[in-house]
Structure 1
């Protein structure tokens, strides 16, 4: 009886959390990532409600248990779609999700009609193979995503996927629990799996809710071939291609940093520099990557550290004030970037030079 009461409590907790997050994420806006996560949360919530009907373990037969588990696996492609949207924003498509759902719908239907247990085991194996593929694919894509961020953003707060590594490394643990849960009829294993999955989604939903979309910034837009400012040395040639006087353009970009100090904008992006210099992101990116042999992130934050050094020596401002006045989004980022460049903490730098 105690086990039964515990199971009811765990299921009630899960239903409440998944339903709340489905509403919270859906109401956030029309961005694809929160919408996909909201659909998954509602799917999992409905699965929990369905399981409550069969929660009496004394009457659950192996066929009923396997059928319940087989139906639950329809959520697997939604998990992969969220990973795709996280590491390649804008690439997940509903038609792809629907096509990948086909085996997860067909196998439970055939199992329910025939009762052949091999169909259930085939779905379990396919789910493991499918999940492992996207796990490895995501591990390959995360470094690429982070390289793109360093080339186009001067900050990483709420756009970096560093937290996803923790989730991915816990994936095999959850996957292992799920396999044992599929193959057993023990309420204790069900409780462990439900609690483990719930805790994982508490963390994931926290970061997804805070995560900012970067689709517009990472997409290679059509305006990359459009000349926007003749004053900076750009003009269209006879075939419509954009030709720029690199020296004039690079001088314009450098003036934005040295004279206007645009690096003090804590949310500065590559597209902002392109807009202010009257050109496109391709030329601005080449300026940093080829002309300066650095990334946009490293260049901007290097200037912020230099500015912070001046404030640390010339003022008695707190580190919080120095961080904010130097263009950093947070004190933790300021400490990390400053220590990496100067080989000491801001406090040590101030003491050593005073």
Structure 2
């Protein structure tokens, strides 16, 4: 069993350091930098633990607690990445310092006093802290996805639907980790490391594919800042004129065929503020930008389904969808049937 654990830790060290390098090279945005640091720290933790695997049962109880508590100091790094995913630009230096101190202070006290109370305080703190942010994220993810639909006509590589499934896995891992912290066991250690490695493979894949939405959502973030005043509301006349220009873009220019269409693209075309454009869809059109664009795309696709012999993949591409899966999902939601069934029914 001991050799198997050495092998598992070796895999983890290579994986986390490799991910740290990849995210470092990806871009200079906050999310990539946070994941770079997180992956590097987890890699260092795995490397450190390699020196304590064999004598772990021989360690003095307090020494073992100090070694384990050192890993807990990195817990806020997981939360920072989660916050930046669910609420871009909301993370501040003050928040980072405060959250880290919550774990650094009891760790220092444990190291200096050798009092086991501080260890169990850290275990309880990590469990409550992690669980509270999982609960926070269950509300933050739908809010984030709703904001995307106000500004984007697509969801591929920008939504966080995948994160919900990850939470169930993390809950399982958190339970294993808590038990392992209280009662050290080689089997639990191996199960914890393998589970963490597999989950982080999926997380790294999705985060690496994740496209930046900062530019498009920046004014939404500014609107929540009391120091930055929100743009004045457009008058009824201005809103009517915006609506006419948008109708021309969609009806005559067929701008909806752009698969990566965003509210900022519309605002640029008609020469106005993207906040006004977004307000038009929400208030005047009474739907999100995402729904508005995709209704046009689906109607265009219906015409192709009825009057052409092109397959679903070709029709999806010509109608402005990034993938056939996305096309089928949106089509079924709007029309209440699949594209294939619609074609058969219309051509009877």
- CA deviation vs aligned residue, 1:286-317 (integer Å, no higher than 9, x gap): 22111111111111001100000111111111
Q: Distance in 2 between matches of 1:73 and 1:101?
A: 10
Aligned partner of 1:164 in structure 2 is 163
Tell me which of 264, 269, 278 is aligned to 2:262.
Answer: 269
Aligned partner of 2:241 in structure 1 is 248
- Over 3 Å counting, the alpha-carbon distance change for 1:252 and 1:179 in structure 2 is same
Aligned partner of 1:150 in structure 2 is 149
Q: Retained in 2: the 8 A contact 1:18–1:42?
A: yes
Aligned partner of 1:329 in structure 2 is 322
Q: Distance in 1 between matches of 2:47 and 2:112?
A: 23
Q: Retained in 1: the 8 A contact 2:79–2:130?
A: yes
Runs of at least 4 residues off by over 6 Å: 221-224
Q: Retained in 2: the 8 A contact 1:65–1:185?
A: no
Say which SS state the counterpart of residue 91 (structure 1) adopts.
coil
Q: Which runs of 5 or more structure 1 residues have no equivalent in the other structure?
A: 225-239
Q: Retained in 2: the 8 A contact 1:264–1:327?
A: yes
Task: Say which is worse superposed, 86-95 or 254-263, in terms of deviation.
Answer: 86-95
Q: Distance in 2 between matches of 1:127 and 1:210?
A: 29
Q: Which runs of 5 or more structure 2 residues have no equivalent in the other structure?
A: 224-231
Q: Distance in 2 between matches of 1:153 and 1:247?
A: 22
Q: Does structure 1 residue 104 correspond to structure 2 residue 103?
A: yes
Aligned partner of 1:287 in structure 2 is 280
Q: Does structure 1 residue 42 correspond to structure 2 residue 35?
A: no
- CA deviation vs aligned residue, 1:1-58 (integer Å, no higher than 9, x gap): xx11011000000000000000001100101111101100000000111111111134
Q: Distance in 1 between matches of 2:222 and 2:272?
A: 9
1:109-258 mapped onto 2 (5 Å cutoff)? 109-220=108-219, 245-258=238-251
User: Displacement, 1:283?
Assistant: 1.7
The count of corresponding residues between Structure 1 and Structure 2 is 337
User: Displacement, 1:222?
Assistant: 11
Q: Distance in 1 between matches of 2:305 and 2:57?
A: 70
- CA deviation vs aligned residue, 1:57-114 (integer Å, no higher than 9, x gap): 3422322221111000011111110111001111122342122111311212211222
Task: Say which is worse superposed, 299-308 or 53-62, in terms of deviation.
Answer: 53-62
Q: Give the structure-2-normalised TM-score.
A: 0.93
Q: Retained in 1: the 8 A contact 2:233–2:276?
A: no
Q: Retained in 2: the 8 A contact 1:89–1:213?
A: no
- CA deviation vs aligned residue, 1:185-212 (integer Å, no higher than 9, x gap): 2111111111111111111001000001
Q: Retained in 2: the 8 A contact 1:70–1:120?
A: yes
Q: Distance in 2 between matches of 1:222 and 1:40?
A: 25
Q: CA RMSD in A?
A: 1.7
